[in-house]
Structure formats: structure tokens, C-alpha cells
Chain A
Amino acid sequence: MHSTTSEPPAPDAAPVPLLATAEQALKIAVVGGFGVGKTTLVRSVSEIRPLNTEETMTRAGDGVDDLDGVEAKRSTTVAFDFGRITLDATSVLYVFGAPGQERFWFLWDRLFSGALGAVVLVDTRRLADSFYAIDRLEAQGTPFVVAHNDFGESSHGLDEVRSALDLDPGVPLVRCDARERDSAKQVLIALVRHVRSLVTEGSR
């Protein structure tokens, strides 16, 4: 049985500093509904135990992303977790796992601005949780792939998933088992390859 609930934050892990020469940090966002395996995927690829923190922001009421001219402001807090992968002496990649529902997105605009791209993690029980994230990523032009996390128990064909998500044919859809390091790693590779192909197309 795999757990489908978010995991409690790791007990205090000592900070693990980066190489002294690290100067360039990159980020990839993994978004999806609760329990879809975001933390699991982050843990599978991370060189440190995933860390958990939160971002707060004073914002307007529900569904309003524009902060200008708001009357009733309130503070909203969203927890997220992340791991990291040292790429070489100077570069490090941070992988963020974050809930993708509409009410959280205004925070991601800030946290994930400048990300290389995003992985939308879906499972077939909660496909609807990812609709907003997909729309949003498409609208803002952030490159992304969709990964169907089936925890090794595939029961749906990827074609079915693609059609249920009404996914653009240009968006890669891959299957993964987020618990497996190699499988999780292949998802990130699929994303970076996708971004590379977009760069190549763009420069043609």
C-alpha cells in the first residue's frame, strides 16, 4: 500500500551547505493535487532530505490575482517542499513540489518565476486537480510535461489520460512511478528535453 497523504515535514535535518563554488541556482516546479506524489518524486531525485517551508502573502479575496486596488486583503499561506540536485561545481537545481490548485497559484507566480519548466503530476483518481495548473502553464507560456504517477500500477492507457486532460499534442505525457529514482529522474529528463526542443524550434 502506498500512502496518498502528504508526508509530515522531515524532523530537523542539519543544513547541508552547497559547494563553495555554487553560484547559479535553477528551478523546476512539480505541481499537482494533494496526494499525487509530489513529495515522493522530489525525494526520489533529491540529494538532501526534502525540506518543507511556506510562503505567505497578503492578497485579495478568492479568485483575484491582481493585487492592485483591492479592498479586503487577507494573508494566505501555502506550504511547499523542495529538494535539490547539484549539477556541477557552479550549478544546483532545486525541485519544488507544490499544490497546483487555483487558490495557490498567485504564490507560484513569484516562487517559480524563472523556472526552467514544470512537471504536472497527475493520477487518474484526481485528474481534475490538474486542469487549472495546465491551463495556467499554457497561458503563461511556461514549458511543461505531464507525468502520470501510477505508483507502478498502470490501469489507464496514456491515450486515455491525454484525452481526459484534453492535452495539447505538443505537450509530452509520460508515465512514472514517483517512488523510483530512475523513473522520477526520467520525468525531469523528459521536461528538459522538451524545453530543449522548444528552444530548437524557436531558433529555426
Chain B
Amino acid sequence: MSRSHRQEGPDRLYVITSGRSTGADESLDAVTLIVAESEPAPGMQSEHAEILRMCGSGPMAVVEISAHLRLPVAVVRILLTDLLDSGRVTARHPRPAPSPATPLASPDVLEKVLVALHNL
């Protein structure tokens, strides 16, 4: 195994989130796309700066940020909430996702996925 947050103690995660384990924006889905709206600024927490760099050249999903930062998704949600609150990033949420009430995607979406898969 390469280096991974799995081998790291909880202390680093505690420092990164300033001890928070809650308070993340609950609307942040695993595949919400994040777009940087500003450049990293001096003095910024390094993880925040890294996210801004990562999302500066195009949108990136929450899980991808998590994988590249090697931080659990829950921790990344907290970091992203900080950046959303300060307007440094914006989020493109998945549109009306299938839910228990309406568990099936729309025919348009399915058709689009089928065409793209056929062309893979």
C-alpha cells in the first residue's frame, strides 16, 4: 500500500478539521462538482489551498478531491463547507437525484448514458 490516510492517526484529521466532526454541508453529495472561484491565498490552510488549486482548472467531484488529498470524504466535506461559506468555491449538485420516492432516473438521462456507453 502506498501512503494513505488509512495509516495516519486521527490526530492529523483532528488538526485539519480544527476538531470538528460535524457541521459539514449535508447537501454535499459524493459526486457534487466543486469549482474554485478564487486563487489560493497566502496564509490559507494548506488543504484549503490544495482544493482551490485542484478545482481551479475545471470542476472536480467531492470524491476525487478526497482521493487526491488522501483524506476521508467526511473530512473533505468539512473543508469544502468552509470554502463554500467563504465563497471561495461553488458547488454543482447532482440534479433531482433518484430518491426512494422516485427511484428511477429520467428517460432523457438514461438515453444519454446509453449513447455514451455504446460509444465507449
Contact B103 A25 (CB under 8 A): no
Complex Cα distance, B61 from A19, in Å, reads 12
Q: Which of A9-17, A123-131, A157-165, A172-180 contacts B (4 or more CB under 8 A)?
A: A9-17
Q: Taking A52-B67, A114-B29, A199-B107 as contacts, is the C-beta distance between A24 and B120 under 8 angstroms?
A: no
Q: Are B68 and A195 in contact (CB under 8 A)?
A: no
Q: How far is the CA of A51 from the CA of B66 in the complex (A)?
A: 9
Cβ contacts under 8 Å, B57 to chain A: 17
Q: Which residue of B lies closest to A94 (CB)?
A: B31
- Given A54-B73, A94-B61, does the pair A27, B31 have CB atoms closer than 8 Å? yes
- Interface size class on chain B is 35 or more
A26 at the A/B interface (Cβ < 8 Å)? yes
Contact partners of B110 in chain A: CB under 8 A: 116, 192, 195-196, 199
How many residues on chain A are close to B (CB under 8 Å)? 60
Cross-chain contact of B109 among A26, A96, A193, A198 (Cβ < 8 A): A26
With A9-B1, A51-B67, A93-B113 given, is the CB distance from A77 to B72 under 8 Å? yes
C-alpha gap A106/B106 in the complex (Å): 26
How far, in whole Å, are A22 and B107 apart by their CA atoms in the complex? 20
Counted as pairs of residues, one from A and one from B, with CB atoms less than 8 Å apart, the total is: 161
CA distance A202 to B105 in the complex (A): 12
- Residue A195 contacts which of B95, B100, B104 (CB distance < 8 angstroms)? B104
B45-65 CB contacts (< 8 Å) to partner A:
54-55, 57-61, 63-64
Judged by a CB distance under 8 angstroms, whether A64 is at the interface is no
Kindly identify which residue among B1, B30, B103 contacts A27, using a CB–CB cutoff of 8 Å.
Answer: B30
- Given A27-B30, A192-B117, also A17-B59 (CB < 8 A): yes
**A101 contacts partner chain B, Cβ-Cβ < 8 Å:** no
- Nearest-neighbour CB distance to chain B for A25, whole angstroms, equals 4
Cα distance A45–B60 in the bound complex, in angstroms: 19
Q: Which of A51, A85, A96 is B116 in contact with, Cβ under 8 Å?
A: A85
Asked if B73 and A55 make an inter-chain contact with CB atoms under 8 angstroms apart, the answer reads yes
Would you give the shortest CB distance from B86 to chain A, in whole angstroms? 22
Is the C-beta of A103 less than 8 angstroms from some C-beta in chain B?
A: no
Cα of A42 to Cα of B5 in the assembled complex, Å: 22
> What is the distance, in angstroms, from B1's C-beta to the closest C-beta of chain A?
5
Which of B2, B4, B33, B112 sits near A88, CB closer than 8 Å?
A: B112
Known: A77-B72, A116-B98. 8 other contacts (CB 8 A): A26-B31, A53-B67, A54-B66, A91-B109, A96-B63, A113-B99, A115-B98, A143-B104
Q: Would you list the 4 A-B pairs with minimal beta carbon distance, nearest first?
A: A17-B58, A114-B97, A51-B67, A25-B31
A-B CB contact pairs (8 Å), 27 listed: A9-B1, A9-B4, A12-B2, A17-B54, A17-B55, A18-B33, A18-B60, A23-B33, A23-B59, A23-B92, A27-B30, A51-B63, A52-B67, A53-B71, A54-B66, A57-B74, A85-B120, A92-B33, A92-B61, A94-B63, A111-B73, A114-B97, A116-B110, A188-B117, A192-B114, A198-B104, A199-B110
